Amino acid sequence: MQYVVGVDIGGTFTDVSVIDRNTGREVIAKSPTTPHDLIEGLLDGVQRAAAQFQLTLPELLAATERFSHATTQTTNVMFTWQDGAIVGLLTTRGFGDELLIMRARGRVAGLGLAERRHLRLTDKPAQIVPRDRIIELAERVDRSGKVLEDLREENVERAVERLIASGVTSFAVALLWSHQNPAHEQRVLEVIRRVAPHAHVSLSSDIAPVTGEYERTSTTVVNAFVAPTLERYLVRLEERLRANGLQVPILIFQAGGGVNDIPSVLPVSTIESGPAAGMVAVQKLAEQIGRPRVIATDVGGTTFKVGLIVDGRWSMAPETVINQYTLLSPMIDVVSIGAGGGSIAWADAGRLRIGPESAGAAPGPACYGWGGTRPTVTDADALLGYLNPARFLDGRIQLRLDLATEAMRDQVADPLFGGDVIAAAAGVRRVVDSQMGDLIRKATLERGFDPRSFLLAAYGGAGPVHAASYARSAGVRQIMVPLSATAFSAYGVVISDTVRSVQRSISPELGRDDASLAASYDEVCAQAIAALNTQGVSSESITLNRWADMRYERQLHDVRVHVSDSDEDGAAPDRSLVTGLSQAFADRYEVLFGKTARLKDANPRILRIGVDATAPSGIAAGAGTLSPDSSPDTAASAHPEPEGSRPVYWPEDSGWLATAVYDGEALRDGHVVSGPAIVEQPGTSVAIPPRARARVDSLRNLIITLDDTQGTLLSEREDTGAVALGSMK
């Protein structure tokens, strides 16, 4: 029992990361994702990883002490509408349409501004539960949890029977104010268990116990929709892995940033868990290199994603929109725009536009030679020398510069740049990098932080190719490119901790009383600990991070604050829980919104509290362990020999420069590479611009320091996202 295995199934590739805990050595394997049966690609990937340890698949699995897995199974259901369960919804009489009304915003939820302005093209998403599978139950609870009208079980029975007769296999139960008093939902559960013992049941008071019936219902319904699919998949996966020798339970990675065992997993939380896995990897690296603030950037084929690590931890999104449905399940806060390697460049009456259309995987960028005729960001990268045509994606694709040239010339260079293909390609890069930089600035400044105080981590296929440029545009000076984790999300999955989050709404009265509040925290903590105990985690190894979502009375914007550590470790706090939270809230609020954005005598109110209970995995890849011959090469000089050189176009230095090219596999701790240089990686290229210096650290991260002479759009200031007027006190 010496191996830990992490598998991340993405849209294109299934990535596997295996760490030998005895040596700290990590191996990576990539296998094409097999959409018809995800398990095939998974097994193939694990087998390829095993081979690198000179093991067979059963040998590796038999010696595996922890197997964690992030799957796209549920994400696929939400984006393709295939394979979801037939869901029936039971709700409070009078409110059966709330799910369909979607607070009216379902028509545009999650859409960009340009999409929202084309009113004719906006529609609500496909209905998970059509109106004839929604049944209203006569019952009513008020805001304080008081029962105004009792639930009658015979009504429930009739409703359940009717839904079963219409083919329902998965029930969602979402009654008004059930988070304040779950008794009625519990009784509905009992009836369903009795009448339809094999049906799946999702209760809103379990899944999202917070105020807001639409969001609570929507989260519960999506859970009901994907749960049976996930369950079937996991049953099969477990069978196959056991048959191949696995002896430990499978752990499932969730978008909140941790793993849970199969009985404890919340299916809705596995949706879009891939980006969260990348954040976990960044968080771990940030901790290892002692950088508490990191901007994580992931450039894929169609999207650019940004997440923040602050004070060594990520933040949670207050809500997430998936295919226009709003979800309240815990999800690491990652923002994105539709810009990536596949984004198409086009001329629009004198303007150079990038996206929102993407060439995607089919037909792909023109240079792939798969029939794409429109120029993309990747074509621009290839034309400017950033990509090695012969070694792209490990040589799986021979890039066709002739096709890239043709596409760029016809559609961008001729109409906008007097036929200059290189100027056009450089323009495309600058525009897209600037837009990415704008998202970074927005994501940091809006959350009250200055991007200059951050390190920027770049990963994803096109991230390292563009990082220097978009970092510079956002005012960031240092970049980290992990050389040791090309399957970065799989690395996040393999190292992830076991996390259980529990939350609940708090009434105004309760939130003012220290003893009651402490008791409520004790309850949610006990729930979270119990949930981890059932997964075999001992209580001593659990760390508790307690938080509260707060707002000023009568205002509507929530801010999450954490119970300070001194209160946590049992030391007698020198101030009350309520006072401590209120102070933390006031401080954070002022950073976010400025001093004046509240009424003078407004009181803070606690809306909901929660706890993230974490059992640390204690797993990390050791230094310099990517390949068997990776022991630090003490003989090498600090300046490694380049593998070769090729011309690369660096626009800031007015053109083509002979640029050294290094093989990323050969770089070791302490190596220094001066720009201009390209470091080639199996899945990507790292662009190191002129005057930048890159150093390899002991974890084989490439740390690039940009020069400080470049202009930025920021004035010098620290953490003043809220721009306050001089006298607004």
Partner 1 sequence: MTKVDPVLFEVVWHKLLDITEEMGIKYMRTSGSPVLVGAYDASTGITLPDGRLVAMGPYITTQAHVLNLIVESVLRTRSVNPGINPGDMLICNDPYLGATHQPDVATVAPVHHSGELRAWVGSSGHWLDIGGSEPGGFNMNAESVFDEGLRLPPTKIVEGGEIREDIVELIMAQIREPLAELDLRGQLVANEVGRTRLLEIADDVGPAVLDTVMRRGIDHVASGMRRRLRSLPDGVWREVQYLDHDGHRQNVRKIVCTLTKRGEELTLDFTGSDPQVNGFANCAAGGLRAAVLSGVCIALGYDLTWNDGVSECVTIKAPRRTIVTAEYPTPVSMSTISAIIVTLNLTLVVLSRMLLASPKHHEQAMASWCGTSLGVSMVGVNRDGILTVAPEASHFAAGCGARSYADGVDTGGIIINTTANIPSIEATEDAYPLLYLFRRQLTDSGGAGRFRGGVSGEVAITPYDTTEPLSTSFAGVGSVTPNAVGIAGGMPGATVRYLRFEDASAIGSDGARLVGTLADIPGPRTAGPLNSSKIEFDLRTVEYHNWQGGGGFGDPLDRDSQKVSDDVRLGLVSAEQARTTYGVVLDDGLDRDATTALRAELRRGRLARSHPFVEAYPLPKDSGEGEPPSGGESVGYWDILTIDQAADSISCTGCGYRLTRATADVRTGCVVEEVPAWKTGPIHGGDYVEASAVPIAMRLFYCPGCGRQLEVDLIVPGGIGPSSVVTRGGTGAES
Residues 333-352 that bind partner 1 (CB under 8 A): 349-352
Minimum distance from residue 610 beta carbon to partner 1 (Å): 18
- Rule CB under 8 A: choose which of 25, 30, 140, 284 binds partner 1: 140
Tell me how far apart the alpha carbons of residues 440 and 563 are, in angstroms, rounded to a whole number. Answer: 28
585 binds partner 1 (CB under 8 A): no
Q: In whole angstroms, how far apart are CA 20 and each of 27, 49, 124, 625?
A: 9, 11, 48, 10
- Rule CB under 8 A: choose which of 22, 36, 54, 119 binds partner 1: 119
Q: Nearest CA to 132 among 80, 97, 184, 83?
A: 97
Rule CB under 8 A: which of 376-435 touch partner 1?
A: 416-417, 426-427, 430-431, 434-435
Tell me how far apart the alpha carbons of residues 484 and 14 are, in angstroms, rounded to a whole number. Answer: 17
Closer Cβ to partner 1, 165 or 556, answer by number: 556
Three-state SS annotation for 276-302: HHHHHHHHHHHHHCCCCCEEEEEECCC
Q: Pick the stretch among 134-142, 489-497, 538-546, 679-687 that binds partner 1 (CB under 8 A).
A: 134-142
* Alpha helices by DSSP H, 289-420: 377-383, 401-408, 414-416
Q: In sequence order, which residues have a C-beta less than 8 Å from that of residue 519 and are 6 or more positions away?
A: none
Rule CB under 8 A: which of 162-181 touch partner 1?
A: 176-177
Tell me how far apart the alpha carbons of residues 499 and 331 are, in angstroms, rounded to a whole number. Answer: 12
Q: Pick the stretch among 26-34, 141-149, 185-193, 328-336 that binds partner 1 (CB under 8 A).
A: 141-149
Minimum distance from residue 596 beta carbon to partner 1 (Å): 5
Closer Cβ to partner 1, 228 or 415, answer by number: 415
Q: Which two tokens stand for residue 577?
A: 């829980």
- Rule CB under 8 A: choose which of 11, 96, 622, 642 binds partner 1: 96
Minimum distance from residue 349 beta carbon to partner 1 (Å): 6
Q: Which two tokens stand for residue 378?
A: 């990747």
User: Do residues 661 and 667 lie in contact, with contact meaning Cβ atoms separated by under 8 Å?
Assistant: no
Minimum distance from residue 394 beta carbon to partner 1 (Å): 33
149 binds partner 1 (CB under 8 A): yes
Closer Cβ to partner 1, 146 or 242, answer by number: 146
Rule CB under 8 A: which of 491-530 touch partner 1?
A: 508
Tell me how far apart the alpha carbons of residues 417 and 419 are, in angstroms, rounded to a whole number. Answer: 5
Say if strands 693-696 and 672-674 run parallel, antiparallel, or are unpaired. antiparallel
Q: In sequence order, which residues have a C-beta less than 8 Å from that of residue 125 and are 6 or more positions away?
A: 106, 323, 324, 325
b/e sequence 438-457, b meaning 16+ C-beta within 10 Å = ebbbebbbeebbbbbebbbb
Minimum distance from residue 162 beta carbon to partner 1 (Å): 14
Own/partner long-range contacts of 30-36 (Cβ < 8 Å, ≥24 apart) = 30/487, 30/683, 33/9, 33/72, 35/76
Q: Which two tokens stand for residue 95?
A: 């409110």
- Rule CB under 8 A: choose which of 65, 97, 239, 394 binds partner 1: 97
Minimum distance from residue 56 beta carbon to partner 1 (Å): 53
- Rule CB under 8 A: choose which of 2, 32, 143, 522 binds partner 1: 143
- Rule CB under 8 A: choose which of 56, 169, 211, 288 binds partner 1: 211
Closer Cβ to partner 1, 634 or 709, answer by number: 709
Tell me how far apart the alpha carbons of residues 341 and 270 are, in angstroms, rounded to a whole number. Answer: 26
Rule CB under 8 A: which of 551-570 touch partner 1?
A: 552, 554-557
- Rule CB under 8 A: choose which of 32, 81, 101, 647 binds partner 1: 101
DSSP 104-132: GGGGTTT--HHHHH-GGG--PPPPSS-GG
214 binds partner 1 (CB under 8 A): yes
Closer Cβ to partner 1, 168 or 480, answer by number: 168
Rule CB under 8 A: which of 436-455 touch partner 1?
A: 438, 442, 445-446
- Rule CB under 8 A: choose which of 65, 123, 153, 641 binds partner 1: 123
Closer Cβ to partner 1, 43 or 407, answer by number: 407
93 binds partner 1 (CB under 8 A): yes
315 binds partner 1 (CB under 8 A): no
Minimum distance from residue 659 beta carbon to partner 1 (Å): 22
Rule CB under 8 A: which of 261-300 touch partner 1?
A: none
Beta bridge partners of 678: 661, 687
Provide the 3-class DSSP secondary structure of residue 701.
strand
- Rule CB under 8 A: choose which of 108, 476, 648, 660 binds partner 1: 108
Strand locations in 460-598 (E) = 478-482, 498-505, 543-552, 559-562
Tell me how far apart the alpha carbons of residues 348 and 118 are, in angstroms, rounded to a whole number. Answer: 18
Rule CB under 8 A: which of 590-609 touch partner 1?
A: 592-594, 596-599
Q: Pick the stretch among 251-259, 273-281, 672-680, 714-722 that binds partner 1 (CB under 8 A).
A: 714-722
Question: Phi and psi dihedrals of 575, rounded to 5?
Answer: -150, 165
Minimum distance from residue 438 beta carbon to partner 1 (Å): 5
Minimum distance from residue 597 beta carbon to partner 1 (Å): 4
What amino acid occupies position 549? D
Minimum distance from residue 107 beta carbon to partner 1 (Å): 4
Element holding 40 (H helix, E strand):
helix 38-52
- Rule CB under 8 A: choose which of 165, 362, 635, 725 binds partner 1: 725
Q: Which two tokens stand for residue 727?
A: 């006298």
Minimum distance from residue 611 beta carbon to partner 1 (Å): 23
Closer Cβ to partner 1, 528 or 548, answer by number: 548
Closer Cβ to partner 1, 97 or 522, answer by number: 97
Minimum distance from residue 432 beta carbon to partner 1 (Å): 9
